[in-house]
Structure 1
Amino acid sequence: MRQLSALDAQFLNFETDTNVANVGGLAILDGTVSRTGILALLEERLPAVPQLRRRLALVPLGLDHPYWAEDAEVDLDYHVRELALPPPGDDRQLGEQVARIHERRLDRTRPLWEMYVIQGLAVGRSAVYTKLHHAAVDGLTGAEVLAALMDPVDMDSAGPVPKPEPQPPPTLWRMLARTAMHAAASPLRLLRFAGETLPVLDQLPVVSRVPGARLLSGMLRTRPLPPVPEFAAPPTPFSGPVSAHRRFVFAELSLAAVKQVKDACGVTVNDVVMALAAAAVRQWLVDHGALPDRPLVAGVPFSLRGKDSRRGKSGDGPGNQVTIMLTTLATHIADARERLAAVSTGMRAVKERFELTPARWLEDLTESLPEPVNGLADRTAFELVGQTMPPVNVVVSNVPGPQFPLSVAGVRLLAHYPVSVITDVSGGLNITAFSYDGHLDVGIIADRDLVPDVWRFPGYLRAALDELRDPVTAS
């Protein structure tokens, strides 16, 4: 019996008709894969993927975080669906179809995932789009779920997986007993949170902007910490509350070209990805006459796996193990190389703050509050921050993937594009990259109303990479 963490539960609490917490991936396949083949594959692999077998078990009256209960018989006929694009089956049609599916909330009475086999793509290809709820997976575990359904091209299929021992569902009395234990421990958790976090309030995203936070942390701190930049997200056309509708586009970039730039400029692959995102967003803002004269603020997901070993938390457990750090995106700098240098400097500062501050401050705070208070606070704070002082303009993420070819149900995987989340708080634009087999697969999700011309972004990204690479290849 496993209970959702406070962070897992937050992804349930903030969800509304417009703030939808789905994450997913779009697999492009070099040939036709059948729904029958996908069903057979899932029958084989489902025992190895607990995230696809679990449904929510709610605590009565919402007194505590929900639990995961194993679904004895997952209705694969419900979860796996098939559709076909009309001719010509081009990328725009595929992106529109994925956006329409991605924006719909998942049924919380079933395991929180759906899979769509998409036929009719140009050049005889097909696609598989999979979406899961963020309460069940983070970026890394989401990639692990999809990897469990794939095989290296030059190896035989992994075949069936032994079925795990069935886990009994949580009983009412056991849930209530644990709820009472959690309530009794809440004051201690709150004291621990205060002792560890108050001295570094000025280092934390969003919280550092609360009046008095810097003064209080300065009074309580016993060791020097680096100064924190003033992160104030300037208004942009894609800032503000999002609608219920999405647009999704995707682009493939050369990972070798990214590494050329990385080596020539003495930065990291992630720095180059951030700089490409900055260039693309800058060009979109220029084209719309809306470029702010100060840098945009980007939210950058950081994995907590292996980061925090205190109180028995290795950071390698199930559930969400992620936090968001803020950095400036240097969109105000016109020169591509100078922009890359500024982005790299900003990312080094982010990593320093990440190492110096409590990794799980938000989880510790929410764990110290009763769940009914937590749920209301999550929704209220999310709405208030989203409408009054959004801390982030855009989310940019880079997830490393396998550098060898894979197949799905015997059909070669050509590309795998991430499909992520946008919210009122994080802004109406998310750019996520996934490296696979020598290329960088970039998925861009945007609010349909705030960024109606999101298909400009693949061209922006390619032009940005050329702009950084040309001086390297010319020298």
Structure 2
Amino acid sequence: MRQLTALDAQFLNVETETTTAHVAGLAILDSMRGSVNRDAIEALLLDRLHLSPALSLRLAEVPLGLDRPYWAADPRFDLRNHLFELSLPAPGDDWQLARVVAEIHARRLDRAHPLWEMHLINGLADGGVAIYTKVHHAAIDGVSGAETLAALLDLTPDGHLSRPPQCGHASADRPEAERPQAAPGLLGMLTGAVVNTAAHPVRAAQSVVKAAGDIDVIPLAAGLPGAKLIAKAARLVTRDRHRRPESPSLTVPRTPLNGPISARRHLSFGSVSLKDVKRVAKANAMSVNDVVMTLCTSALRSWLSERGALPAEPLIVAVPVAVRTAGARNRVGNQISAMVAPMPTNIPDPVERLQAVGATMSRAKRRFALAPATWLNELCSVLPAPVTTLATPAIFRLASVAFPPINLIISNVPGPQFPLYLCGARVLSYYPMSVLTDMSGGLNITCFSYDGMLDFGIVACPERVDDVWGLLGHLRTALDELLDERVSDEFRDGVGVDLMAG
């Protein structure tokens, strides 16, 4: 039994009729042998559920919402509440797949059960199958999500046949720490709520002081008069003597990406060659992540320019960063922070844009390395749980109209550079998909590096982004542009960009 943290609970609070807060992935599998079917997946899940705690725990709500919920074992766990199957109509192309997955992605998870679903999708045009899986962000972050995925995958096609049978639930030979536990009873929950309420003023004050040390990089707050002086004073109070690089301006320009979102979702997915991205990175003495951020910056510049909506100032992006420690492996919940930085969409020259992204991200990473920001968790801890639950949707909606703190979120999750298999079928691609909120904007770009490719998943609200596939196309153009500009003729020999829609 474990109580949700303030950050975990915030992912529950943000959900409304127009906002869902799960993260997801779309795996494309080569199943020409027909090895991937509902029975095989069901057997696999029952065999390995114990390896992923997030898949077997449900929420236990505190009466009247007086405190944050708890994670508890589901005594009536039934795989039929989580595993579903459907088939695409002919011809089963990538656009049909995207439409079907977008509809599923737009639906909230049922909180009466463990917060995840898996959908087996048959009828793909090339004879393969797709598996779309979503898990609530309250239960996992990027790192624990990758661990959950890895628990279901094998290194060889017959790996699922060679493992000894396992029990999907607690057994006598499993360590007590791994066994799902029951939530506290009514009296225990109410007692915990009283204790947490009494202690909250002190904890909230501590959170305010800690967050104030990073106020110069917190969206919106960074623009307040004297923000840098306040940050320095707060760091003196907490005896934080780390010297931080000067923070850039984080003024958020108005764009079509920002504003209230609807309940509808559109998505696109595709891949670019990781080898090509690494070549650009090497030629410019940058990291792969810097090049990924440049691709996204260039794609957004082109997309906004087409609509006459390119602002004169840089866009402001939030980049999630994992702060999970080795001792927290397989722990349910979130251990993440975020870097907030400008995207130089205002720079027309692609080479100068690449260099500007590299400089901006380098400065943000140096600051984060010196003093990892905890402001995201601290801000979620300031208000009491009952107030946060009621106030969060209104705050997010107001922010979208009056003062959006960022333009969008971009995530880059590293993955294995070798093939993996599920139920004997090779995973060809894995497209990640994430969360849209009123506050963070109507567009989210996430990529996952896997087996020599960078797999992009783009999720958008159609009221904010009218052509999600066009945006994906601009990513290809951006990489072509960098290869042409920065790679020598010898370096370019044999270089090709493969942007696939599936």
1:391 corresponds to 2:414: no
SS in 2 for 1:148: helix
Shift of 1:225: 3.8
Partner of 1:268: 287
1:139 to 134, 139, 142: 142
Map 1:295-306 → 2, pairs under 5 A: 295-306=314-325
Q: What is the CA-CA distance between 1:365 and the residue it aligns to?
A: 4.0
Whether the 8 Å contact between 1:304 and 1:315 is mirrored in structure 2 is no
Question: Which residue pairs with 1:239 in the alignment?
Answer: 258
- Does the Cα contact within 8 Å between 2:47 and 2:166 map onto a contact in 1? yes
> Which residue of 156, 161, 165 corresponds with 2:166?
161
- Per the TM alignment, residue 355 of structure 1 is displaced from its structure 2 partner at its CA by 3.5
The 8 Å contact of residues 315 and 321 in structure 1, kept in 2 or not, is answered as no
Please report the TM-score for the alignment, with normalisation by the length of structure 2: 0.89
Deviation at 1:155, TM superposition (A): 6.0
1:249 CA displacement? 0.4
Aligned counterparts of 2:458 and 2:317: Cα–Cα separation in 1: 14
Q: Is the 8 A contact 1:56 1:68 kept in 2?
A: yes
Deviates more, 1:378-387 or 1:233-242: 378-387
Q: Which whole-Å CA distance do the structure 2 matches of 1:178 and 1:63 have between them?
A: 10
How far does residue 348 in structure 1 lie from its aligned partner after superposition?
Answer: 1.2
Question: Does the alignment pair 1:474 with 2:477?
Answer: no
- Equivalent residues in 2 for 1:70-469 (5 A)? 70-153=73-156, 156-157=159-160, 158-162=163-167, 163-164=169-170, 165-210=179-224, 213-220=227-234, 222=236, 225-306=244-325, 317-357=331-371, 359-469=373-483
8 A contact 2:337–2:377 mirrored in 1: no
Please report how far the alpha carbon of residue 185 of structure 1 lies from its aligned counterpart in structure 2 after TM superposition. Answer: 2.1
SS in 2 for 1:328: strand
The alpha carbon displacement at 1:277 in A equals 0.6
SS at match of 2:276: helix
What's the offset of the Cα at 1:77?
A: 1.5
Q: Secondary structure at the match of 1:253?
A: strand
- Over aligned residues, Cα RMSD in angstroms? 2.1
Aligned equivalents of 1:209, 1:295: Cα separation in 2: 15
Q: Would the aligned equivalents of 2:252 and 2:405 in 1 still touch at CA under 8 Å?
A: yes
Q: Does 2:37 match 1:52?
A: no
In structure 2, the CA distance between the partners of 1:161 and 1:141, relative to structure 1 (3 Å rule), is: same
The Cα of 1:385 is off from its aligned counterpart by: 1.4
Amino acid at match of 1:260: R
TM-score by length of 1: 0.94
Q: What CA distance in whole angstroms lies between the structure 1 residues aligned with 2:74 and 2:275? A: 44
Higher mean Cα deviation, 170-179 or 259-268?
170-179
Counterparts of 2:233 and 2:69, CA distance in 1: 38
Shift of 1:23: 0.9
Query: Does 410-419 or 28-37 show the bigger shift?
Result: 28-37
Q: 2 CA distance for matches of 1:316 and 1:346?
A: 33
The count of residues paired between Structure 1 and Structure 2 equals 470
> Measured at CA, do residues 315 and 353 of structure 1 come closer, stay the same or move farther in structure 2, by a change above 3 Å?
farther
Q: Give the letter aligned to residue 428 of structure 2.
A: L
Distance verdict in 2 for CA 1:413–1:397, change over 3 Å: same
The letter for the 2-side match of 1:465 is: L
Deviations 1:257-280 (A, max 9, x none): 111111110000000110011111
- Per-residue deviation, residues 33-75 of structure 1 (Å, max 9, x unmatched): 2111111111111121111111110011111100011113421
C-alpha change, 1:387 and 1:282, in structure 2 (3 Å) is same
SS at match of 2:108: coil
What displacement does 1:376 show? 2.8
Q: How big is each residue's C-alpha offset from its partner over 1:344-392, in whole Å with a ceiling of 9 and x where there is no partner? A: 1111121133235563233234335321122234233222212211121
Q: CA deviation at 1:192?
A: 2.3
Higher mean alpha-carbon deviation, 357-366 vs 339-348, is at: 357-366
Distance 1:211 1:48, change over 3 A: same
Query: What runs of 5+ residues in structure 2 fail to find an aligned partner?
Result: 171-178, 491-502
Whole-Å separation in 2 of the counterparts to 1:76 and 1:316: 21
Q: Which residue of 2 aligns with 1:3?
A: 3
Contact persistence 1:9–1:66 (CA under 8 A): yes
Give the whole-Å Cα distance in 2 for the aligned partners of 1:228 and 1:316: 34
Q: For residues 273-297 of structure 1, give each alpha carbon's deviation from its aligned partner in whole angstroms, at most 9, with x where no partner exists.
A: 1001111111111211221122111
> Aligned partner of 2:201: which letter?
P
CA contact (8 A) 1:304 1:359 kept: no
8 Å Cα contact 2:144/2:329 also seen in 1: no
Distance 1:155 1:207, change over 3 A: farther
In 1, are the aligned partners of 2:102 and 2:265 still within 8 Å (CA)?
yes
In structure 2, the CA distance between the partners of 1:298 and 1:194, relative to structure 1 (3 Å rule), is closer
Q: Which runs of 5+ in 1 are unaligned?
A: 308-312
Q: How far apart, in 2, do the equivalents of 1:203 and 1:249 lie?
A: 31
Q: Tell me which of 42, 45, 63 is aligned to 2:45.
A: 42
Q: SS state of the match for residue 346, structure 1?
A: helix
Deviation at 1:100, TM superposition (A): 0.6
| CA distance in 2: counterparts of 1:411 and 1:451, whole angstroms | 35
Question: Amino acid of the residue matched to residue 55 of structure 2?
Answer: L
Bigger drift between 151-160 and 266-275 goes to 151-160
**Quick one: which amino acid aligns to residue 205 of structure 1?**
P
The one-letter code matched in structure 2 to 1:413 is: V
SS of 2:126 mapped into structure 1: helix
